[in-house]
Amino acid sequence: MDINELDNAYALPVDDRIQVLNHCDTFAILNRWGNIHPKGRQIQGLYNRDTRFINCLILLLNDQQLDLLSSTITEENDILSTDLCNLSFTLPDGTVLPHGSIHIRRSQFVKDDGFHEKIEVENFLDYAVELFLSLQFKGDFADIFEVRGLHRERKGKLLAIHANGNNYIEIPYLGLDRVQRKAIVHFSTAFDQFNEDYRASFPIQLAAKQTRFLDYAIHFEEADRTSKPVQTYKRAKALLAPNLQEKNAYFPIVETSNEQFTHWIHRSRADLVSLMADTPHGRYPYAGVPWYNTAFGRDGIITALQTLWLAPDLAKDVLLFLSAYQATTADAAADAEPGKILHETRNGEMVALNEVPFKRYYGTIDATPLYILLAGEYYQRTADTETIKQIWPNICAALEWIDTYGDQDGDGFVEYHHKAENGLTNQGWKDSYDSISYANGNLAKPPIALCEVQGYVYTAKLHAAKLAKLLGDKPLAERLETESKQLRKAFNEAFWNDGINSFVLALDGDKKPCNVKSSNAGQVLFTGIAYPHRAAKLVKTLMRPELFCGWGIRTLATDEARYNPMSYHNGSVWPHDVSLIAEGFAQYGFIKEAAQLTTGLFDASLFIPLQRLPELFCGFDRRKGEGPTAYPVACSPQAWSVSSVFLLLKALLRIRIVPSQKSIYFDNPYLPTYLDWIRIKDLSVDSLKVNLEILRNKDKNHVSVKWDNQPKDWKLILVK
């Protein structure tokens, strides 16, 4: 399978009943029993740094399967708690063990480079029993791209699994990259035997009503990196809470009058926190589990933009991380050029062998202008001059990349044409190979200039001009202001199509327009590049049934040749895309339409397990009494999907926090009828924390705002 096809045609189905745990570079995909079954080509497993170390983990009682009672991820998103009981079976002495007489509780979590589990076994009989638990372990050390469906002609060698004493099992693998990877299992209790089926067995003697405990840890090691100290279950669990508290401190508390909406907010925050990985440059939101559990430039930037008004420190971390990874040289094999911002970074055997080009890959056309855009928005939100000074050379390098490499033919528009042999063909956010087409369905000829990318460049240059003024470079500021005005004029002339009442999807290599109605045009509004009279026409187009399915805006309209509601980018609905469009609607004054999009995604969340909006779902029309149709291999949690609710709230509230003016603006805010009030506690303004309450007046149908701890010299301004 070609690497480009992976982004819209994953080979492997995801069981919607799986449970996901994740922390930094490690994640676990388990079934509801807390097991990992190696059936067929499933994705269940324990993964670390883009390698599936463990593909089999099965708990048995006296060699018998267990009956499932319940399986729940805790509200903080850190522990999988599973309740099981025995099926009826006969003990060696002839005693029949009644069904449901032995309760087994599994508590599992991942932290850093380890997986931890505690097993509690409780006897509810009025007599003693002698039982034995067994845990079966196997590893396949499949690269994440193998799990996704890429075929490899050759693989490394699985080495012999062996026990060292009665508390330690080692599962090793030697890769073709000559790196030895190991999964090492440490038990708190000595096992009785370890047999040829790779089962460790533990005798359990239970008096009447007695409970016994067993815990173990699996640590993932690679020979070419320093291993972290082995932690027990108890010690690792003790460290979970402070780690969560540190990450949660990035966010204020947001509550509403609607319990379901509040739960959506809290679940989204917990999911985002679970994806925030510790790096030498701060915390970075990894894109999503399972396929994208790593740093992606575009995803991290958009997640930071979605949450900026609430969590500016996350945006700062994202900027510092991406500045550190900015390309400094040209490398066609990585689609890299000086000043370009990272697309993704990967680990694993296939990356090490250059079977895939993603160790540090730069094949994205939009991350670079979005990086500048985020820097400008971050300064407006925080007035943090020191950080801007620190990354100003990176911003200048990014601007140089836009003009030198991004605009390949000097026409003022930024376009892409991939250079890496195995790189991505399409390099906008819709990066599947078939996502950019003409009205007749034929694929567009590169180099391709996407409509939303021109908007990103426009806003990036406006922000860079303001930052240049701040730092005393008046000539650069004036040049950037002039270029942004010229780009806006040229864009509205070249990309608008009266026939479809929309900006076209893209211009091809011959400047021929792709006259296709798509959600990309909606993101144009988010950037502010559209003339107001065209924005009004576009909003009507986007809210027509061809694009608005009831849950959100489809990526492609139903009357387009390539429309398929079950496709990855040609008719599906992406929550992050909808949130950006809603923010664009609100910026142009279409607040009620923004509220319709908010309501659509909120309603969708009520049908989705945990109210966790996935990466995408199918774009079928909304049907009464039914939820959206799932896209089977969507990532969940996905950072920019779970962060969508925060940008939707910003769109409704029309809030701007301006430290340079010591003011918080609410520009004609709007609350739908299911939200009587919104309360925000500990919102950061300068070095202070404020509490805000936004109220909907049911009689007069307007919104009022107040705070209970107004900082000195600060103003709260409500524009109606």
Decide if pLDDT at 295 tops 60. Answer: yes
pLDDT of residue 13: 42
Mean pLDDT of 270-278: 94
Q: Please count the other Cβ atoms lying within 10 Å of the Cβ belonging to residue 244.
A: 17
pLDDT of residue 224: 67
- CA–chain centroid gap for 497, Å, is 34
Whether 65 and 58 have beta carbons less than 8 Å apart is answered as no
Number of domains comprising the chain: 2
User: DSSP for 124-177?
Assistant: -SSS-EEEEEEEEEE---EEHHHHHT---S---EEPPPEE-TTSEEEEEEE-TT
Q: What is the 3-state secondary structure (H, E, C) of 496-535?
A: EECCCCEECCEECCCCCEECCCECHHHHHHHHCCCCHHHH
Whether 533 and 556 have beta carbons less than 8 Å apart is answered as no
Contacts 24+ apart (CB under 8 A), 328-332: 331/362, 332/419, 332/420
CA distance 251 to 267: 13
Q: Is the dihedral of CA 72, 76, 80, 84 positive or negative?
A: negative
pLDDT of residue 40: 46
CA distance 370 to 300: 10
CA-based nearest residue to 307, from 320, 316, 295 = 316
CA distance 24 to 277: 4
| Residue 485 domain flag | yes
Task: Classify residue 569 by its DSSP letter.
Answer: S
Joined tokens for residue 210: 């007695």
Place of tokens 């949130």: 579
CA distance 646 to 680: 12
Q: pLDDT confidence of 11, banded at 50, 70, 90?
A: very low
With pLDDT > 70 as the criterion, what percentage of the chain qualifies? 97
Q: pLDDT digits over 536-594, tens only? A: 999 999 999 999 999 999 999 999 999 999 999 999 999 999 999 999 999 999 999 99
pLDDT of residue 1: 42
CA distance 500 to 486: 24
| Residue 345 domain flag | no
Query: What letter represents residue 643's amino acid?
Result: S
With pLDDT > 90 as the criterion, what percentage of the chain qualifies? 83
Decide if pLDDT at 8 tops 60. Answer: no
Q: Is 387 exposed, middle or buried (0-12, 13-18, 19+ CB in 10 A)?
A: middle
Q: Are residues 368 and 234 located together in one domain of the fold? A: no
CA distance 274 to 285: 9
Mean pLDDT of 485-490: 98
pLDDT of residue 419: 86
Q: Where does a domain end: 519, 541, 563?
A: 541
| Residue 596 domain flag | no
CATH at 475: 1.50.10.10
Q: Are residues 375 and 523 located together in one domain of the fold? A: yes
Whether 570 and 520 have beta carbons less than 8 Å apart is answered as no
Decide if pLDDT at 670 tops 50. Answer: yes
Decide if pLDDT at 15 tops 50. Answer: no
pLDDT of residue 12: 42
Task: Classify residue 705 by its DSSP letter.
Answer: E
CA angle 47/321/279 to nearest 5° reads: 45
Mean pLDDT of 79-85: 96
| Residue 183 domain flag | yes
Q: pLDDT confidence of 616, banded at 50, 70, 90?
A: very high
CATH at 75: 2.70.98.40
Which helix (DSSP H) or strand (DSSP E) does residue 113 occupy?
Answer: none
Q: Indicate the range of 219-228, 505-514, 588-597 predicted with least confidence.
A: 219-228
Mean pLDDT of 662-688: 94
Q: Are residues 372 and 508 located together in one domain of the fold? A: yes
pLDDT of residue 301: 98
Whether 166 and 180 have beta carbons less than 8 Å apart is answered as no
Mean pLDDT of 487-501: 98
Whether 342 and 352 have beta carbons less than 8 Å apart is answered as no
Decide if pLDDT at 225 tops 80. Answer: no
How large is the angle between the packed helices 591-605 and 575-587, nearest 10 degrees? 160
Mean pLDDT of all residues belonging to the chain: 93
Query: What letter represents residue 409's amino acid?
Result: D
Q: Where does a domain end: 221, 242, 263?
A: 242
Q: pLDDT digits over 331-382, tens only? A: 999 999 999 999 999 999 999 999 988 999 999 999 999 999 999 999 999 9
Decide if pLDDT at 518 tops 60. Answer: yes
Domain membership of residue 73 as a residue range: 3-242
Whether 553 and 577 have beta carbons less than 8 Å apart is answered as yes
pLDDT of residue 477: 98
pLDDT of residue 484: 98
| Residue 666 domain flag | no
Whether 147 and 51 have beta carbons less than 8 Å apart is answered as no
User: DSSP for 194-213?
Assistant: E-TT-EEEEEEEE-TT-EEE
CA distance 531 to 456: 15
| Residue 389 domain flag | yes
The pTM (predicted TM-score) of the whole model is 0.94
CA distance 276 to 85: 35
Q: Are residues 231 and 378 located together in one domain of the fold? A: no
| Residue 498 domain flag | yes
User: DSSP for 23-67?
Assistant: ETTEEEEE-TTS-B---TT---EEEETTEEEESEEEEEETTB-EE
| Residue 39 domain flag | yes
Joined tokens for residue 674: 């299911």
Length of the chain: 720
Q: Where does a domain end: 213, 242, 271?
A: 242
